[in-house]
Structure 1
Amino acid sequence: MEKLLYEYQSRIDHANSETGVSSHCCFCSMQCAIELRVETASSRISGIQPIKDFPVASGKACPKGIVAHEHARHRERLTMPLLRKGGELTMVSWEEALSAVADRIRTIQQRYGSDAFAVFGGGSLTNEKAYLLGKFARVALRTKNIDYNGRYCMSSAATAMNKVFGVDRGMTVPLSDIPLAKLILIVGANIADCQPTMLPYLRQAQKNGAKIVVVDPRKTTTAKMADLHVAIKPGTDSALMNGILHVMVEEDLIDSSFIAERTVGFEEVADAVRSYTPAKTAQLTDVPAEDIVQIARWYGTAETALLLTARGIEQQARGVNNVISCLNLVLASGKIGKPGCGYGAVTGQGNGQGGREHGQKADQLPGYRLIENPEDRAYIASVWGIDECELPGKGKSAYELFEDMAKGEIKGLFVLASNPVTSSPNSSFVKKAVAGLDTLVVVDLFLTETAKMADIVLPGSAWTEDEGTMTNLEGRVIVRRAAQKPPGQARLDWRILADLAKLLGKERFFSYDSTEDIFEELRLASAGGKADYSGITYSKIEQQRGVFWPCPSDDHPGTERMFTERFAHSHGKAVFYPVQFEPPKEMPDEEYPYTLTTGRLMIHYLTGVQTRRTVLLNSRQPAPYVEMHPQTAAASQVEDGERVELVTRRGSAKFKVKVTTAIRPDTLFVPMHWEEEQSVNLLTLAELDPESRMPEFKLCAVSIKKINSKAEGERTHELEKIGLGR
Structure 2
Amino acid sequence: MRDRRHSTCRLCANRCPVLVDVEEGRAVQVSGDPDAPLYRGYSCRRGRFLPQLLNDPSRLLRPMKRLPDGSFVPISSEQALDEVTVAVERLVAEHGPRSIALYCGTQSVQSPPAYGMGRSLLEELGSPMLFSANTIDQPGKHVAAGLHGYWMAPAQAFDRPEVILWIGINPLISYKGVPAGVPRDLLREVEERGGHTITVDPRRTETARLSSLHLQPAPGEDVAVVAGLLHVILAEELHDRGFVAENVDGLAALTAAVRPFTPDYVARRAGIAAEDIVTAARWFGTARRGYAVAGTGGNMSAARGTLLEYLILALDTICGHYLREGEVVAATGPLAPRPMFRAQASPPVTAYGFGETLRATGRRDSLAGLPTADLADEILFEGEGRVRALFNLGGNPVVAFPGQERTVRSMDALDLLVSFDVRMSQTARRSHYVFASTMCLEIPGIQTASSATVGYANGYTGHSASWAQYTPAVVERPPGSDLLEEWEVFFEIAKRLGLQISWAPRSPFRIGPPAQGEQPLPKLDMSRRPTHDEIIELWTQRARVPLETVKGHPHGGVFDPEEPVAVLPKEEGWQGRLRVGSAEMMQALADYQGGEAGQARDGLRLLNRRMIQVNSSYNLDRINRGITNNPLFMNPEDMANLGLEDDDEVDVVSEAGKVRALVKGDASVMTGTASMAHCFGEAPDTDLDVRVSGTPVSRLNAVDFPRDPYTGQPQMANIRITVHPVEPPRRTAAGRARGN
What is the SS of the residue equivalent to 1:615? coil
Q: Name the structure 1 match of 2:88.
A: 105
Q: SS where residue 230 of structure 2 aligns? A: helix
Is residue 684–residue 699 contact of structure 1 (8 Å, CA) maintained in 2? Answer: no
8 Å Cα contact 1:595/1:700 also seen in 2: yes
SS at match of 1:617: coil
Which residue in 1 is equivalent to 2:725? 706
3-state DSSP of counterpart to 2:183: helix
The alignment status of 1:322 with 2:322, answered yes or no, reads: no
For the pair 1:593 / 2:629, whether they are aligned, the reply is no
Give me the whole-angstrom Cα distance separating, in 2, the residues matched to 1:641 and 1:719: 6
Q: CA deviation at 1:515?
A: 2.5
Partner of 1:382: none
Please list, as runs of the form range in 1=range in 2, the aligned pairs for 1:228-247 lying within 5 A after superposition. 228-247=213-232
Task: Indicate the residue corresponding to 2:634 in structure 1.
Answer: 628
Partner of residue 92, structure 1 = 75
The structure 2 residue matched to 1:291, chosen from 273, 276, 289, is 276
Whole-angstrom CA distance in 1 between matches of 2:351 and 2:275: 45
CA 154–74 in structure 1, closer or farther in 2 if over 3 Å, else same: same
CA distance in 1, matches of 2:247, 2:116: 34
Pair 492,167 (structure 1): closer, same or farther in 2 beyond 3 Å? farther
- Residue 12 of structure 2 corresponds to 28
CA contact (8 A) 1:127 1:471 kept: no
CA distance in 1, matches of 2:433, 2:277: 55
Cα 1:571–1:123 change in 2 (3 A) is: farther
Q: 2:487 aligns with which of 466, 476, 494?
A: 494
State the Cα distance separating 1:576 from its structure 2 match.
1.1
Residue-by-residue CA offset, 1:104-150 (whole Å, 9 max, x unaligned)? 112222221111111112333233222112112212x3321122223
Q: How far off is 1:155 after superposition?
A: 2.4
**Matched residues in 2 for 1:167 and 1:466: separation?**
36
Deviates further, 202-211 or 185-194:
202-211
Equivalent residue for 1:399?
373
Name the counterpart of 2:198.
Answer: 213
Q: How many residues align?
A: 631
Q: What is the aligned partner in structure 2 of residue 617 from structure 1?
A: 624
- CA shift, 1:223, in A, is 0.8
CA contact (8 A) 1:192 1:222 kept: yes
- CA separation of 1:536/1:455 partners in 2, compared to 1, >3 Å: closer, same or farther? farther
Match of 1:143 among 113, 127, 132: 127
Contact 1:155 1:694 in 2 (8 A): yes
Cα 1:331–1:441 change in 2 (3 A) is same
Moved more, 628-637 or 58-67: 628-637
Q: Is the 8 A contact 1:131 1:522 kept in 2?
A: no
Q: Is the 8 A contact 2:198 2:212 kept in 1?
A: yes
Q: Could you give the per-residue CA deviations for residues 42-77 of structure 1, whole angstroms, max 9, x where no partner exists?
A: 111122232334343232112122223431221111
Residues 477 and 150 (structure 1), Cα distance of their counterparts in 2 relative to 1, 3 Å cut: farther
Contact 2:139–2:368 (CA<8 Å) still a contact in 1?
no
| Contact 1:486–1:492 (Cα < 8 Å) also in 2 | no
SS of 1:197 mapped into structure 2: coil
Distance 1:596 1:332, change over 3 A: same
* Pairing 1:227–2:212 present: yes
Deviation at 1:700, TM superposition (A): 1.6
Question: Following TM superposition, by how much is the alpha carbon of 1:447 offset from its aligned partner in structure 2, in angstroms?
Answer: 0.5
Specify the code of the residue in structure 2 equivalent to 1:573.
R
Q: Is it true that 1:681 corresponds to 2:698 in the alignment?
A: yes
> Contact 1:32–1:56 (CA<8 Å) still a contact in 2?
no
Alpha carbons 1:421, 1:449 under 8 Å: kept: yes
The 5-angstrom pairing of residues 205-604 of structure 1 reads 205-315=190-300, 316-337=302-323, 396-408=370-382, 409-470=386-447, 473-474=461-462, 479-487=470-478, 488-506=481-499, 510=524, 511=526, 512-519=529-536, 538-539=547-548, 542=551, 545=556, 571-577=575-581, 578-579=585-586, 580=589, 582=592, 593-604=603-614
Change (3 A) 1:704 1:168: farther
Asked whether the equivalents of residues 146 and 351 of structure 2 are also in contact (C-alpha less than 8 Å), the reply is no
Q: Provide closer, same or farther for how the CA distance between residues 695 and 517 of structure 1 changes in structure 2, counting only shifts above 3 A.
A: farther
Instruction: Supply the AA of the counterpart residue of 1:647.
Output: V
8 Å contact from structure 1 (residues 157, 320) kept in 2: yes
Q: How many angstroms does 1:642 deviate by?
A: 1.9
Q: 1:627 to 1:613 in 2, by over 3 A?
A: closer
Relative to the length of structure 1, the TM-score reads: 0.78
Residues 290 and 543 of structure 1: CA distance in aligned 2, closer, same or farther (over 3 Å)? farther
- Structure 2 CA distance for aligned equivalents of residues 154 and 324 of structure 1: 12
SS in 1 for 2:440: coil
Contact 2:143 2:352 in 1 (8 A): no
Matches within 5 A, 1:159-178: 159-166=143-150, 172-173=155-156, 175=158, 177=159
Residue from 665, 673, 676 that aligns with 2:671: 665
What are the within-5 Å matches in structure 2 for residues 54-133 of structure 1? Answer: 54-87=36-69, 88-124=71-107, 125=109, 126-133=111-118
Q: Deviations over 1:650-688 (max 9, x none)?
A: 211122222233222221101225231522122134344
Note closer, same or farther for the CA distance 1:85–1:616 as it changes in structure 2 (3 Å cut): closer
The Cα shift of 1:455 comes to 1.0
Distance 1:465 1:557, change over 3 A: farther
User: What corresponds to 1:350 in structure 2?
Assistant: none
Cα pair distance change 1:260/1:520, threshold 3 Å: farther
CA 121–303 in structure 1, closer or farther in 2 if over 3 Å, else same: closer
Q: Work out the CA distance in 2 between the residues paired with 1:132 and 1:373.
A: 24
The CA deviation string for residues 271-309 of structure 1, in whole angstroms up to 9 with x for no partner, is 111111111111221121111111111112234333232
Cα distance between partner residues in 1 of 2:575 and 2:552: 35
- The 8 Å contact of residues 597 and 667 in structure 1, kept in 2 or not, is answered as yes
Paired with 2:564 and 2:717, the residues of 1 have a C-alpha distance of 36
The structural deviation recorded for 1:97 is: 1.7
AA partner of residue 312 (structure 2) = C
CA RMSD of aligned residues (A): 3.8
Gap change, CA 1:219 and 1:245, over 3 Å in 2:
same
In structure 2, stretches of 5+ residues that fail to align are 176-180, 329-335, 337-348, 356-366, 450-460, 502-522, 688-694
Shift of 1:587: 9.4
Q: Distance in 1 between matches of 2:134 and 2:354?
A: 22
Q: Aligned pair 1:191/2:154, yes or no? A: no
What amino acid does structure 1 have at the position aligned with 2:655? Answer: R
Cα deviation code 1:547-576 (max 9, x no counterpart): 99xx9xxx99897x9x78669x98453321
Taking only the aligned residue pairs, the percentage that are identical comes to 21
Cα drift, residue 717 of structure 1? 6.5
Query: 1:202 Cα shift?
Result: 1.1
For residues 199 and 326 of structure 1, the distance between their equivalents in structure 2, rounded to whole angstroms, comes to: 23
Contact map agreement 1:216 1:229 (CA 8 A) in 2: yes
* Whole-angstrom CA distance in 2 between matches of 1:82 and 1:718: 38
> Which residue identity lines up with residue 166 of structure 2 in the other structure?
I
Per-residue CA deviation, residues 180-199 of structure 1 (Å, 9 max, x unaligned), is: 33322211111122229312
Determine if contact 2:32/2:42 at 8 Å carries over to the other structure.
yes
- Determine the C-alpha separation between the residues in 1 that align with 2:564 and 2:715: 36
In the TM superposition, 1:41-60 aligns within 5 A as 42-60=24-42
What is the alpha-carbon distance in structure 2 between the residues aligned to residue 92 and residue 79 of structure 1? 11
Q: CA deviation at 1:446?
A: 0.8
Q: Please tell me whether the aligned partners of residues 566 and 572 of structure 1 are also in contact (alpha carbons under 8 angstroms).
A: no
For residues 486 and 616 of structure 1, the distance between their equivalents in structure 2, rounded to whole angstroms, comes to 20
Gaps of 5+ in 1: 1-15, 343-353, 355-367, 375-392, 525-532, 722-726
Q: Give the whole-Å Cα distance in 2 for the aligned partners of 1:635 and 1:209.
A: 43
